[in-house]
């Protein structure tokens, strides 16, 4: 009986040792395996995102020009200042001596042009009547035609030769041509004089237009003139300085009006998902707004997006962070970017498979060659090569190559135990 018990105890000890050996062997075996996490491809849309920065500028700008040539007298505002309609911007003063000299010059030109007009009218009147040379040609032509008529009668009765008749006819043709040329020259002279007269009359009328601003300056030379803001806004720029001599129609200032702004933001040249008409989000520590991309153009910095937006209390020059975000229109088979691998043969995934091993069920990596499409910051579209039922390697705590046995942390997500 004691012997049987000893054998039984011995057998139990052997069994325990075998179980411990198996346990520790499996533990030692798996201890060195890469511990990995897998993920299944899924159907979804790519979410594109790009971020940039830019300074806002008022979209509506009122330009103010110098009304008349003069000198900038006083500046009442500074750049960046808020102004109300009617606020003084700057004043102008004018040089009376120079103004009077301009008026005298115009008056002298008026007298000169008036005399030139009278002279042209006299020439026109004379050109409408034949001169002595034309009268002489007309008389000679009439006499030649009369002689030709007699010569033809004499030729018919044989009193003169064929040559004499031809000479009479040639003389008539020559005088007629000379008369026509003289008349044409007279007509051209008249036309030229008429055009010259029209030009002088137009020049005479323009003097009155030129004279008007100097007459206005003559009225206000003692007090000068004050330029005011045409409407509420922000003074974006002031292009003149006190004491500066300025010309008529010279740009003096720009006032930004309203709450509409334009912002230009640089984006990478390779960015292809941002297009005109897309919306974007703008924000800084004080404001948030939605904007619309009005245009795109290529610059030295890459590609630039011009954005229009409205902000009630923003100021010109404020910097905004711009967020472009857009989902793809079509759905695709997606995998996380971290699962994509690439070598000289192209892109591939490491598929996690299960098989029977010496220690039971084990997991290993296999290669799946794929064709990729577009991508965003998180996922890549796979055009060809996989289905939704193939778990692929996402992460590993150590290097894990194709064919390696791995320890799959989330095996229950893909395989039945």
Say whether both 201 and 112 belong to one domain. Answer: yes
Who contacts 387 (Cβ-Cβ below 8 Å, separation ≥6)?
Answer: 41, 333
Say whether both 148 and 178 belong to one domain. Answer: yes
DSSP string over 53-101: EEEEEEEEEEEEE-SSSEEEEEE---TT-EE-TT-EEEEEE--HHHHHH
CATH for 290: 2.40.10.170
pTM exceeding 0.85 = no
Q: How many domains are there within the chain?
A: 4
Residue 7 lies in a domain: no
Q: pLDDT tens, 162-214? A: 888 888 889 888 888 988 888 888 888 889 988 988 998 999 889 888 888 77
Look at residue 16 and give its three-state secondary structure.
helix
Residue 17 lies in a domain: no
Q: pLDDT tens, 210-265? A: 888 777 767 666 556 888 999 888 888 899 999 899 888 999 999 988 889 999 99
Tokens of 311: 């902000």
Residue 15 lies in a domain: no
Say whether both 41 and 147 belong to one domain. Answer: no
Residue 14 lies in a domain: no
Q: What is the predicted pLDDT for the residue at 309?
A: 93
Say whether both 126 and 174 belong to one domain. Answer: yes
Q: pLDDT band at residue 308, thresholds of 50, 70 and 90? A: very high
Q: In terms of Cα–Cα distance, which of 217, 232, 324 is closest to 279?
A: 324
Look at residue 198 and give its three-state secondary structure.
helix
Say whether both 271 and 122 belong to one domain. Answer: no
Instruction: Please state, as a whole number, how many other Cβ atoms lie within 10 Å of the Cβ of residue 148.
Output: 17
Q: What is the residue range of 137's domain?
A: 97-220
Q: Considering only residues 356 and 304, tell me which one the structure prediction assigns the higher pLDDT.
A: 304
Decide which of 251, 268, 302 is a domain's last residue.
251
Say whether both 121 and 213 belong to one domain. Answer: yes
- Residue 20 pLDDT > 50: no
Tokens of 265: 């933001």
Say whether both 268 and 348 belong to one domain. Answer: no
**Mean of pLDDT values over 334-361:** 88
Q: pLDDT band at residue 16, thresholds of 50, 70 and 90? A: low
Tokens of 363: 């997991």
Say whether both 206 and 241 belong to one domain. Answer: no
Q: pLDDT tens, 384-405? A: 888 777 899 999 988 988 888 9
DSSP string over 267-300: E-TT--S--TT-EEEEE-SS-EEEEEEEEEEEET
């Amino acid at each position: 009986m004691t012997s049987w018990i000893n054998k039984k105890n011995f057998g139990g000890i052997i069994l325990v040792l075998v179980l411990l050996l198996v346990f520790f062997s499996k533990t030692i075996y798996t201890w060195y395996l890469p511990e990995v996490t897998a993920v299944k491809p899924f159907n979804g849309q790519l979410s594109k995102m790009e971020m940039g920065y830019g300074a806002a500028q008022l979209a509506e700008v009122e330009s103010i020009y110098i009304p008349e040539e003069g000198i900038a007298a006083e500046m009442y505002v500074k750049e960046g200042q808020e102004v109300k309609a009617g606020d003084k911007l700057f004043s102008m003063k004018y040089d009376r001596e120079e103004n009077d000299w301009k008026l005298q010059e115009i008056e002298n030109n008026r007298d000169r042009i008036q005399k030139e007009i009278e002279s042209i009218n006299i020439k026109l009147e004379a050109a409408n009547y034949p001169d002595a040379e034309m009268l002489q040609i007309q008389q000679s032509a009439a006499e030649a035609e009369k002689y030709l008529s007699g010569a033809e009668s004499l030729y018919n009765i044989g009193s003169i030769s064929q040559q004499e008749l031809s000479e009479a006819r040639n003389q008539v043709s020559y005088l007629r041509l000379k008369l026509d040329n003289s008349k044409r020259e007279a007509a051209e002279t008249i036309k030229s004089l008429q055009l010259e007269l029209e030009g002088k009359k137009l020049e005479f009328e323009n003097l009155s237009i030129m004279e008007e601003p100097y007459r206005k300056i003559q009225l206000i030379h003692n007090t000068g003139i004050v330029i005011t803001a045409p409407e509420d806004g922000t003074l974006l720029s002031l292009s003149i300085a006190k004491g500066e001599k300025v010309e008529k129609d010279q740009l003096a200032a720009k006032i930004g009006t309203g709450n509409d702004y334009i912002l230009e933001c640089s984006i990478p040249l390779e960015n292809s998902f941002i297009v005109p008409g897309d919306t974007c989000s703008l924000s800084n520590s004080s404001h948030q707004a939605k904007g619309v991309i009005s245009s795109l153009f290529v610059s030295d910095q890459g590609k630039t997006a011009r954005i229009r937006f409205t902000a009630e209390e923003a100021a010109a020059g404020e910097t905004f962070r711009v967020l472009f975000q857009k989902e793809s229109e079509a759905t695709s088979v997606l995998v996380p970017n971290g699962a994509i691998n690439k070598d000289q043969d192209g892109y591939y995934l490491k598929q996690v498979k299960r098989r029977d091993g010496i220690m039971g069920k084990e997991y290993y990596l296999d290669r799946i060659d794929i064709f990729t499409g577009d991508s965003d910051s998180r996922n890549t579209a796979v055009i060809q090569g996989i289905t939704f039922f193939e778990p692929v390697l996402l992460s590993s705590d150590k290097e894990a190559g194709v064919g390696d046995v791995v320890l799959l942390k989330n095996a229950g997500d893909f395989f039945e135990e």
